[in-house]
Chain A
Amino acid sequence: MLKVEHLTKMFGGLAAVNDVSVEFETGKINAIIGPNGAGKSTFFNLISGMHEPTSGRILLDGVDVTTLPSDKVARLGVGRTFQTTNLFEQATVLDNLIVGHRLRTRSGLWDVLINSKRLQREEKSAREKAMEALEFVGLTHVAGQFIADITQEERKRVAFALALATDPKIVLLDEPAAGINPEETVGFAALMRKMVDEKGLTVCLIEHKMDMIMSLADKIMVLDHGEKIAEGTPEEVRNNPVVIEAYLGGDEDAAA
């Protein structure tokens, strides 16, 4: 599904991501973990086209997307969420979601001027898509609420729904469980599992909550200082001495 080959990103002299190769399979939950500053978010930005890699290749279903800008990558089926999602606070949840399907529509200025059939049809389908996504994340009851009036957890779900409305094949979730309580985290884990089971999506997430990762992920990649130091099932990663060292600190790091 998503294949990354020798991916490197240099910021000045610093390698934020260094020679990372990995493959994410269809219909699996893949987690990326690592200490702060390990290059996890940069890795996401490279895949989604926000940054252009210094070297290496990114293949999506065999198509080279390495140098494509992020809007084109999104159109090819890569959806993503951010650590914080800025939405239109004084608009309803549903209104915020309708634009999610915009990338599958073609109406332009002229369609707006003459209120064309195409525009009406596309607006209807975008609205239906938004409702469908809202139902999937379990928020139908707040469709008419302003974003400003819903809870933090509901906001996170709206961000999910927005990504889902783009009809993605793979979703990149950047710390989906950050800032929510343990009970809500359980709900989010179930939601991610549902994305895979019911929609057949490939999920790729960055997360710090180890309990959740260990029970949820099919496969874990560990990054440290921009390099891949381990990869495997939760069980394999948990017992990997290199990973333990990266997290708890080896002899050299202990002083720092």
Chain B
Amino acid sequence: MFKFASMLMTPAAKYLMLAFAVLFPLVAANEYQVYVMATAFVWAIAVYGLNIITGFCGQLNLAHGGFFAIGAYTLGLLTADYGWSFWPAFLAALVMTAALGFLVGIVSLRLKEHYFAIFTLCVGFIIYLLIDKWEELTHGAIGVRDIAAPYGFGVVDFTDTTPFYYLVLAFLVFAIWFMGRLSKSLLGRTFIAIRNGDELAQSLGINLMRNKVLAFVLSTTYAGLAGALYAGMVRFIGPDEANIQHTFDMITYLLVGGIGTIMGPLLGTIGIVWITQSLQFLEEYRMIIFGPLLVLLVIFFPRGITGSFLTWMHRKSQALVPGKKREESKVNTVQPREAESNA
């Protein structure tokens, strides 16, 4: 069991997963499955963004779905109403979500903990209202149609489902790669120190505001990237993209997969998206199955699938080094005891 589990942590396992993702369109039963998977990947990218600000930096951002919608609308409006082609509009969506993330960040991050969460909840709702009511710009409830699809370079054409799947996969791989690099770097450690506690982080010489804003901007850029890809994929968006429900969905994906881990956002998102798909026939009643499942998960795997797995692995590997730690530490504590008995 342990041997098999440790194989999951080798680089080979990652390449195997990648190989499966690459081959998936070939083994999928129909195009719809490829489409569902691509959707899951898009959401996973957004969840990775949430993982940076909430998982690593410890700030629960409830405006995340709003930034996803801003990314989608920036791309949608620029291509549909202003005649931009896909890739420039795509870049503009990233710049827009980063810039708005910066502005919202420097205001909202002055608040701590649940005050920050409530503030961002309101920001998310304001984004929804703006999209829904500012009809001259966003077309309101009618939504945005005729969004440009990503044109390819040379032979590849991304308008079909399968090529688009690969495009999303490429961005997802980049998103995960960057997350992995970030988590091991001094910058990622700085974010984690902030999550451990503002005061402690400051006493270690960490500038709270600068680092929190950086984490926030990174997370909104991820959300914008996912939103832009989403708009390019479905080609029709409405105010509902900014619905708070999406934010809570993403938080669920993150918690199930493993908050603050590298593979957690991916596993959580794909897992839940497919479970939701396969329970489609139950319609609204699927929550009867879903609810208890989530409760059980939170009780028995509080750190999500990935987090609980990693903890288990670590304990196992420590146990395999027999008696090493306890013996030495005993030597340390025995000395003062002797000193006292002599006195």
Contact = CB atoms under 8 A, between A and B. Distances in A.
Interface of A: 48-50, 69-72, 74-75, 79-80, 82, 85-88, 90-92, 95, 98-100, 102-103, 105, 107-109, 111-113, 115, 119, 122-123, 126, 138, 141-142, 144-146, 149, 151, 153-154, 162-163, 166, 182-184, 186-187
A167 B111 CA distance: 30
Contacts of A103: 204-206
A144 B193 contact: no
Given A119-B185, A138-B332, A183 B337 contact: yes
A183 B336 contact: yes
B202 A99 contact: no
Interface of B: 178, 181-182, 185-190, 192-193, 195-197, 199-200, 202-208, 214, 218, 303, 307, 310-311, 314-315, 318, 324-325, 328-329, 332-333, 335-337, 339-340
A146 B314 contact: yes
A166 B199 CA distance: 15
Contacts, number: 122
B324 A109 contact: no
B186 A122 contact: yes
A163 to B, nearest CB: 8
B67 to A, nearest CB: 18
B250 to A, nearest CB: 22
11 contacts: A71-B205, A72-B205, A86-B196, A95-B189, A102-B193, A102-B206, A107-B186, A109-B187, A112-B181, A182-B340, A187-B335
A71 B206 contact: yes
B202 A74 contact: yes
The interface centre, meaning the residue of B185, B192, B204 with most chain A CB atoms within 10 A of its CB, is B204
Q: Is the interface of B mostly helix, strand, loop or mixed?
A: helix
The interface centre, meaning the residue of B203, B311, B333, B339 with most chain A CB atoms within 10 A of its CB, is B203
B187 A108 contact: yes
Q: Is the interface of A mostly helix, strand, loop or mixed?
A: helix
A67 to B, nearest CB: 15
A201 B315 CA distance: 37
Contacts of A98: 186, 189
Given A122-B186, A141-B324, A50 B199 contact: yes
Contacts of B303: 90
A102 B186 contact: yes
Given A183-B337, A186-B339, A146 B206 contact: no
Given A102-B204, A102-B205, A109-B187, A149 B318 contact: yes
Contacts of B204: 71, 74, 99-100, 102-103, 162, 166
B202 A69 contact: yes
A211 B325 CA distance: 31
Contact of B186 (A85, A119, A183): A119
A95 B193 CA distance: 11
B19 to A, nearest CB: 25
Given A71-B204, A71-B207, A123-B185, 8 more contacts: A74-B202, A74-B203, A85-B200, A86-B197, A109-B214, A111-B187, A113-B181, A187-B335
B340 A141 contact: no
Nearest to A76: B205
Nearest to A100: B204
Given A112-B185, A141-B325, A71 B202 contact: yes
A151 B332 CA distance: 13
A145 to B, nearest CB: 6
Nearest to B329: A141
Contacts of B181: 112-113, 115
A68 B152 CA distance: 54
A2 B206 CA distance: 22
B336 A75 contact: no
Nearest to A186: B336
B227 to A, nearest CB: 21
Given A74-B205, A103-B204, A184 B336 contact: yes
A88 B57 CA distance: 12
The interface centre, meaning the residue of B193, B324, B328, B337 with most chain A CB atoms within 10 A of its CB, is B193
Contact of A113 (B178, B189, B315, B324): B178
Contacts of B199: 50, 70, 82
B197 A70 contact: no
A172 B310 CA distance: 35
Contacts of B182: 112
A166 B325 contact: no
A110 to B, nearest CB: 10
